[in-house]
């Protein structure tokens, strides 16, 4: 008779808890779903634990950029993004470990209408130093296309 594994001995994805089809992350060595192959290009879906951790965390960024030291204290990682995005990449649900001291920041507002834009989760467009919410971006794009005669 073979001993049965205790539930806690079974590897599980550190993000969603699933126990099948797992690999270890290259960046931090945690168990995660081996599900990146199911991602549909340009869908912007956030249904892949592996892809979300690799692309939407400072841990994944730090590893891919080959920065030295730990991601939680990396000055290069902090300078690579706006403070709002550093805070989001360091504390979102795709992290195994949250950044202990995310930077403070003023909310990003649409340069046209003033609505708050959450850079990590909302749709927006950027033109130079301006951020436009989805609604204002659509109006601006139509205006620019009319000016070009398209």
pLDDT tens digits for range 12-38: 999 999 999 999 999 999 999 998 888
Q: What is the pTM of this model?
A: 0.84
In a domain, 7, yes or no: no
In a domain, 79, yes or no: yes
In a domain, 70, yes or no: yes
In a domain, 56, yes or no: yes
Distances (CA, A) of 51 to 8, 60, 116: 25, 9, 27
In a domain, 13, yes or no: no
What is the number of domains present in the chain? 2
In a domain, 49, yes or no: yes
In a domain, 125, yes or no: yes
* Per-residue pLDDT tens digits for 37-89: 887 777 777 789 999 999 999 999 999 999 999 999 999 999 999 999 999 99
In a domain, 15, yes or no: no
Question: CB of 34 within 8 A of CB of 50?
Answer: yes
Which pair of structure tokens corresponds to residue 43? 């869908």
Phi and psi, residue 75, nearest 5°? -65, -35
Domain that holds residue 114: 108-148
Q: How confident is the model at residue 7 (pLDDT cuts 50, 70, 90)?
A: low
Which pair of structure tokens corresponds to residue 14? 């550190």
- Name the residue with tokens 């779903």: 33
- Distant-in-sequence contacts of 22-29, Cβ < 8 A, 24+ apart: 23/50, 25/50, 25/53, 25/54, 25/59, 25/60, 26/63, 27/53, 27/54, 27/59, 27/60, 27/62, 27/63, 27/64, 27/71, 28/59, 28/63, 28/96, 28/97
């Amino acid at each position: 008779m073979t001993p049965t594994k205790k539930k806690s001995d079974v590897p599980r994805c550190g993000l969603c808890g699933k126990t099948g089809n797992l690999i270890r992350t290259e960046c931090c060595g945690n168990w995660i779903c081996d599900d990146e192959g199911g991602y549909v290009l340009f869908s912007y879906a956030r249904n892949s634990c592996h892809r979300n951790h690799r692309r939407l965390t400072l841990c994944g960024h730090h590893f891919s950029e080959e920065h030295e030291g730990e991601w939680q204290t990396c000055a290069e990682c902090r300078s690579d993004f706006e403070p709002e995005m550093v805070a989001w990449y360091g504390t979102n649900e795709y992290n195994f470990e949250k950044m202990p001291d995310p930077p403070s920041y003023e909310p990003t507002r649409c340069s046209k209408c003033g609505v708050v834009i959450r850079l990590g989760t909302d749709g927006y467009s950027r033109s130079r130093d301006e951020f436009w919410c989805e609604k204002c971006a659509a109006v601006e794009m139509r205006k620019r296309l009319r000016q070009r005669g398209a």
